[in-house]
Structure 1
């Protein structure tokens, strides 16, 4: 639907937009001054924690190989956030127009969100340059941000906001539950996602407000179509997981410094896919906060369709 005709947020939400503005001002950070600070990644340490990389499912890897695998996945992890923030920023800019001549507090909150997403994209692009200099040549990130954004933005607002909220929430949970408590990670890596988390916390609140606002102005038929589109988008994300995990597994095994048996190769490829499916699909879909919002905005029959679509992924990752 045309987001310009969506009515302003219901009464009672204005304070939440204002709180997001205040938090955004309080945690505002600069890429060079606060995050990178002239540092490089410490390649003697892991990037992604074991709970995200699933490296412990590969007992035949040496500690050095496990560390390298976490760095390969970590490079893709940063690139995946740069990828999704391309369409999130574009969609937020579009949705903000519904407030531009009305609720100026909500408008400012969404403009600030877009500005922060642009900054995050720059941060992750710069990180990939650093990693390219410090890791073996030959790494490839397959999905193209603009192409992916065009596919996502071709769906309706309901589905795009459903996917966006999922991403924003799991980025917070990954940091708090896995990255923050792990003392074995590269210091720069931890700081990147600390500062990222500080701003994404506000983004998740705004995404929920905007999704509920879109939902309230969407017909039942459009909502039902939105469920189908959400399922299609999740399928597209899983397709990216399948392609990138295969690419990263091949890169890892080529540069690990030894040959792997056919059985080991198969296991590395399978665990890499499990990890990516966990990181980008299952870990967010199973979160209580996301589930509560999704359940509130769908019928039982629609929830059943979503759960059926997710079942193969959940089965593979053991969630």
Structure 2
């Protein structure tokens, strides 16, 4: 019986190692360069939208004309790129940290995680460059409020279980956004669209690795440590919502300043509410509702813990999905 159990453990470990190996293979196959493959000497087409309507919620602002709707989509798109640059700051650091568990163990897993970290550093460089490029074609006054290093420091102070859970959520919704909304929209700037095509190609492998590492971390924790992780994850969701609120207010104000006409106080209120709704949808709710993430989360938490998470998400779900 002991020999059978040992054989089963070895078989399970081999299967996990094969998943890491497949991520390495895919990473090598889709590897891209910022200048050669993505930017290719191009600039953004500001006669087109950046964010698709399904993500921007602009269709909930029927009183905007075409130019105004396009401008607001470009503001949201600029923030979308900056937000990914922000989260990849702590994602890269956390993955580099958890890779330590494989230093003297599975070298295939180690290679996969190091490749992920290298790709996240590349993504950060890409998004920094996009901010410079979008600034050249938009009015002065835009502000990205969160400070990436400060946010990363606060996130990394939470338990690894919680950070890996948040990371999986982010990297799954980045894929969902591209496939469901960005890729099929023919009215977006070609360059902006290509940025998220290439980003999606690498994030597909990252989500697999996130899940493997989250499950590995979960397996080594006590019940008390897992419960702390759930509390930390709820806190992190609240922190993300805080960022959404601050940036939504900044972006709505920037839009109102440069829209080219005055809006009624009622219209201004709706604009601010819709931008916040869009950001809650983009960065929290769309990921929480994604079946792939929900299935992993349910497998790792108790019904009581799931209920706590659901109550914390309830007000956000009600606002963003309404």
TM-score class, shorter: over 0.9
Q: How does 1:96-245 map to 2 (within 5 A)?
A: 96-245=99-248
Q: TM-score normalised to the size of structure 2?
A: 0.96
How far 1:242 moved relative to its partner? 0.3
Q: Could you tell me which residue of structure 1 aligns to residue 274 of structure 2?
A: 271
Q: Which stretches of structure 1, 4 residues or longer, exceed 3 Å deviation after superposition? A: 8-11
In structure 2, the partner of 1:83 is 86
Q: Secondary structure at the match of 1:92?
A: helix
User: Is 1:61–2:68 an aligned residue pair?
Assistant: no
1:260 match: secondary structure: coil
Aligned to 1:20: 23
Note the aligned Cα RMSD (angstroms). Answer: 1.0
Matched positions, count: 312
Decide whether the 8 Å contact of 2:281 with 2:321 is kept in 1. Answer: no
Distance 1:158 1:125 in 2: 29
Say which SS state the counterpart of residue 15 (structure 2) adopts: coil
* Deviation string, structure 1 residues 25-62 (Cα, Å, up to 9, x no partner): 00000000000001000000000000000000000000
Cα separation, 1, equivalents of 2:229 and 2:96: 20
Q: Which residue number in structure 2 is paired with residue 3 of structure 1?
A: none
Q: Distance in 1 between matches of 2:268 and 2:308?
A: 35
Tell me the residue number matched to 1:47.
50
Q: Note the C-alpha offset of 1:102.
A: 1.1
d(CA) in 1 for partners of 2:210 and 2:252? 34
- Please state how far the C-alpha of 1:12 moved relative to its aligned partner: 2.0
Q: Distance in 1 between matches of 2:63 and 2:15?
A: 56
Per-residue CA deviations over 1:157-205 (Å, capped at 9, x if unaligned) read: 1000010000000000000000000000000001000000000000000
Q: List alignment gaps of at least 5 residues for structure 2.
A: 1-9
Which consecutive unaligned segments of at least 5 residues does structure 1 have?
1-7
Q: State how far apart, in whole Å, the 1-side matches of 2:202 and 2:221 are.
A: 29
2:5 — aligned with what?
none
Aligned partners of 1:47 and 1:70 also within 8 Å: yes
- Displacement of 1:305 in angstroms is 0.2
Q: Residue 4 of structure 2 corresponds to which residue in structure 1?
A: none
Contact 1:158 1:211 in 2 (8 A): yes
Distance 1:316 1:205 in 2: 30
For normalisation by structure 1, the TM-score amounts to: 0.97
Alpha-carbon distance in structure 1 between the residues aligned to 2:123 and 2:308? 34
Deviations 1:247-270 (A, max 9, x none): 000000100100111001000000
